[in-house]
Every structure is written in C-alpha cells, then in structure tokens.
Amino acid sequence: MRIISGAYKNKKLFFLNAPVTRPLKDSVKENIFNIISHSNLIKVNIKESIVLDLYSGVGSFGIECLSRGSKNVTFVEADKQAIMLTKKNLSQIPVGDKTTVFEGKIDKFFNSKHKDNRFDIIFFDPPFNDIQYTNYLILIKKLKIYNSNHLIVIHREHKTIEDLDKFIKILDTKKYGRSKIIFGLL
C-alpha cells in the first residue's frame, strides 16, 4: 500500500492485516482519484478541498488527498489499531495542522464540535457487511456538513445491492474487482 500521486508519491503506508479492516487497493484508489480529477460530472477540486474520511482505517484515502493538495482532512475511525497506524502514517509526511484524527464511532463524531465543519469530499469505506452507514448519509444531509460543491464517495463490495438513490443523487458507479465505487451528491 502506497501513496499514488502528489507531493508524497510512492511513500509506503502501514496497514492492518486483520479481518477488522480491509485496505483500499492502490489500483482502486488510483481510479477513484482519476475519476474525481477528470470526470465532467464531478465539480470538486481535490486541491484545496476539505475532506471527511469516515471509516478511515489506516487513513489511505485521506492521506492520498493530502498528497494531492487537500487543505484539510478529518479521519474518523473506531478501531484503536487502525488509529495507531493512521497516526504512524501521518507522522511520515509533513502535514502540519492539516489533519484531525477522531478516534471513536461515527455517531460520536457527529455529536462532537467537529460536526460544525463543512466538507467538499466525504468518503465512506464501511465494512462490507455494514448496511447501517446509510443512516449517516441521512444525518450528514440533516446537519448540512457539506459545501454546495461537494462529492460523496462510497466504497462497497461489488455484489452489494443497495437502494442508494433514496439517500444520494448517484453520478457514477464503477466496479474494480471486488470493489464498487459510488460517486454522488446529497
């Protein structure tokens, strides 16, 4: 696992080899960023964006955003080992005050002072068997913690059948091996 592009390109990232998390494959991550950067449907610029990385694992997505010029990334993760590795990964790059690492469940995050931020990109990477994450889409919409030009990116298992149209406006869906990536708006 590595940083694909930007200021920290090719920097290796530490990851968990445990059933609790599954790393976002480099090839899938690269495709996500290619679509964000080149799709006519997406109006968000990674550079200068404010990013919310939910179920962040070891921080691979958010760190890639930082490498590509994002202004700020908030990582939210409940697993203590994953948080430890997120911090270790962040310590390898000069991020200064561009990050917030929130250790705890997502609902706890939404009850904290951090919920007052407004985000350009919100990335969801819940465990494949977690179907309750859609409740957070509803909550994000209710709290209006996104900017007018925003993007929701959701990583799911390609066989997962969900009716996400009632939660977001789907812009595009791509499948890569076992992964399905949904791009949308609230």
Name the residue among 153, 31, 1 with its Cα closest to residue 92. Answer: 1
What integer pLDDT is reported at residue 21 of this predicted model? 59
What angle in degrees, to the nearest 10, is found between the helix axes of 80-91 and 60-67? 20
Structure confidence at residue 115 (pLDDT): 62
Per-residue pLDDT of 43-53, as tens digits, reads 999 998 999 99
Chain segment 79-98, per-residue pLDDT in tens = 999 999 999 999 999 998 99
The amino acid at 179: S
The string of pLDDT tens digits covering residues 46-75 is 998 999 999 999 999 999 999 999 999 999
In angstroms, what CA-CA distances link 138 with 41, 72, 121, 145, 168?
Answer: 22, 23, 16, 11, 9
Q: How far apart are CA 119 and CA 27, in angstroms?
A: 25
**β-strand pairing of 119-124 with 146-157:** parallel
**Token digits of residue 143:** 């709290």
Helix (H) or strand (E) holding 60: helix 60-67
CB of 30 within 8 A of CB of 23? no
pLDDT category at 129 given cuts 50, 70, 90 is: confident
pTM for the predicted model, two decimal places: 0.95
Return the CATH class of domain 26-185. alpha beta
CA 28 to each of CA 61, 116, 127, 174, 177: distance values in angstroms, whole numbers, following the listed order: 10, 30, 16, 10, 9
Confidence of residue 134 (pLDDT cuts 50, 70, 90): very high
Q: Which of 14-18, 19-23, 174-178 has the lowest mean pLDDT?
A: 19-23
Q: In the structure, what pLDDT confidence band is assigned to residue 19 with cuts at 50, 70 and 90?
A: low
Label residue 16 by pLDDT band (50, 70, 90).
confident
The pLDDT of residue 58: 94
What are the sequence ranges of the domains in the chain? 26-185
Query: What is the DSSP code (8-state) at residue 12?
Result: B
**Measured CA angle at 153 (ends 162, 129), to 5 deg:** 40
